[in-house]
Amino acid sequence: MKKLLLIILAGFALFSVLENNPSFFQSYRQQSSGTDQAIADAYDKQQSDIQVSGAGVVIRILPDDNDGSRHQRFILRLASGQTLLIAHNIDLAPRIDALREGDRVEFYGEYEWNAKGGVVHWTHHDPAGRHLSGWLKHDGEIYQ
Looking at 1.10.8.60, 3.30.420.40, 2.40.50.140, 1.20.1600.10, the CATH number of the domain 2-143 comes to 2.40.50.140
Q: What is the pLDDT of residue 35?
A: 76
Task: Report the C-alpha gap between 35 and 55 in whole angstroms.
Answer: 9
Task: Report the C-alpha gap between 40 and 118 in whole angstroms.
Answer: 10
Beta-sheet strands, E only, within 25-115: 50-65, 71-77, 83-89, 104-112
The domain segmentation of the chain, as residue ranges, is 2-143
Are the C-beta atoms of residues 113 and 47 closer than 8 Å to each other? yes
Q: What is the pLDDT of residue 2?
A: 52
Q: What is the pLDDT of residue 36?
A: 86
Q: What is the pLDDT of residue 79?
A: 93
pLDDT along the chain (144 residues), means of 10: 46 43 37 71 94 96 96 96 97 97 97 96 93 96 96
Total-model pTM: 0.76
Helix (H) or strand (E) holding 136: strand 135-138
